Amino acid sequence: MDLDIVMKRLDLHTYSIQFDGVQTALSKLLKETAYSSLFVLVDENTREHCLSLIKDTLPDNTKIIDIQSGEIHKTLDTCKIIWEALLNGGADRQSLLINLGGGVIGDMGGFCASTFMRGIRFVQIPTTLLSQVDASVGSKLGVDFQQVKNIIGLFQDPIAVLIDPTFLKTLPSAELRSGYAEVIKHALIYDAELWAQLQSIDQVATVGKWDALIYRSVQIKQEIVEQDRKEKSLRKILNFGHTIGHAIESYFLTTDTPLLHGEAIAWGMYAECILSQQLLGLSDQDVQSAHRYLEKIYADKKPVKWDTDALLKYMRQDKKNVNQKISFSLLDRLGHGVPDQFVEEEMLVSLFEGF
């Protein structure tokens, strides 16, 4: 992989993904965009570590909205805080909201902007690896409800996504590793060459320059989303690892040992490789290759005990299901995902018991 790759602007139908330095890109965007008032959504982490990187580009009358970080706060209660701040801050339909943060900030901030006054414009500035390679691209927005991931939401485009790897310097290693799971997923579902290149990465902490991995991941997601914006067919392959992974994540959020999103998705991919072999004939060699690599990166976060009934409950509530059948996107070979695979619960029980 060319680590000196030049990241070029990617243009989707109604917005662009920009890779210039965030100060340059945001300054240009604000000069070219007419708005009545400006708001920036942050949590305690992005206020401390990231806001200073864009502060000089913001007008003096910019209003900052603070929320608490973490998936546990990705709820309608937090949306109320955001909506109240917009309302009390005098926001109108010409206002602009900048979402400065990871996947939670982007998903929830975009959702709140899209529903406030039937929709105000927003900009995504993703500050985590997870949000840069995955969550900020594709216009899916939403919140969790009763521990079910992203069950309330909508599709709505931002006016721009501004990606700057500089923000990754503020991240703890666990957050980098969490985001890396989505890079792995993109390789497994779409790019066998990228999968082969990832094998040289033994530890996420040793990746000195993320530009090439971020850019290729965004390219992959852009290519998929452009073909299927509303997730009717091909886009479903982006859910590989997520049917089981979201259930694992939701379950462990109710315990004293919650998992980060990417940690749960890594083990979701591990389990769904087994289903891929059983249903689509994924070869022993491919299953072993995927398992070895996922274990190498995420072994210390492998779930050792869970409640199978609870996992099945979460999976029954998955928004991808059809006619109460649990839906998966699986692999028939490394680098190629296949959507709309329905799995009987008896097979899932057997899988969990032998995990």
Rounded CA separation 228/291 (Å): 29
Q: Supply the range of the domain harboring residue 105.
A: 10-170
Scan for tokens 């299927």, then name that residue.
228
> Is the same domain home to 141 and 122?
yes
> Is the same domain home to 185 and 57?
no
Residue 3 has pLDDT above 50, yes or no: no
* pLDDT band (50, 70, 90) for residue 314: very high
Domains in the chain, number: 2
Which of 140, 177, 186, 216 is labelled catalytic?
140
Rounded CA separation 129/178 (Å): 8
> Is the same domain home to 203 and 334?
yes
Mean pLDDT across 6-26? 85
CA pseudo-torsion sign 5, 7, 11, 12: positive
Specify whether 8 is catalytic: no
**What is the percentage of the chain residues whose pLDDT exceeds 90?**
82
Rounded CA separation 104/92 (Å): 24
**pTM value > 0.85:** yes
Of residues 203 and 114, more confidently modeled: 114
What's the CATH code of the domain at 310? 1.20.1090.10
Rg of the chain (C-alpha set): 20
Range from 1-5, 72-76, 307-311 carrying the lowest mean pLDDT: 1-5
Asked if the structure places residue 5 within a domain, the reply is no
Res 207: pLDDT: 87
Specify whether 47 is catalytic: no
Residue 60: strand pairing partners: none
Cα–Cα distances in angstroms (integers) from residue 295 to residues 105, 181, 302, in the given order: 29, 12, 8
Res 4: pLDDT: 52
Specify whether 48 is catalytic: no
Specify whether 84 is catalytic: no
Which of 13, 32, 61, 118 is labelled catalytic?
118
Asked if the structure places residue 2 within a domain, the reply is no
Q: What 3-state class would DSSP assign to 70?
A: coil
What's the CATH code of the domain at 16? 3.40.50.1970
Range from 5-14, 172-181, 304-313 carrying the lowest mean pLDDT: 5-14
Asked if the structure places residue 116 within a domain, the reply is yes
Edge to edge, the sheet with strand 160-162 lists 10-11, 16-18, 160-162, 121-126, 96-101, 38-43, 63-67
Specify whether 221 is catalytic: yes
* pLDDT band (50, 70, 90) for residue 29: very high
Rounded CA separation 67/65 (Å): 7
Of residues 123 and 354, more confidently modeled: 123
Residue 60 has pLDDT above 60, yes or no: yes
> Is the same domain home to 239 and 349?
yes
* pLDDT band (50, 70, 90) for residue 12: confident
pLDDT tens track for 275-284? 999 999 999 9
Specify whether 182 is catalytic: yes
Res 6: pLDDT: 60
Of residues 87 and 170, more confidently modeled: 87
> Is the same domain home to 80 and 184?
no
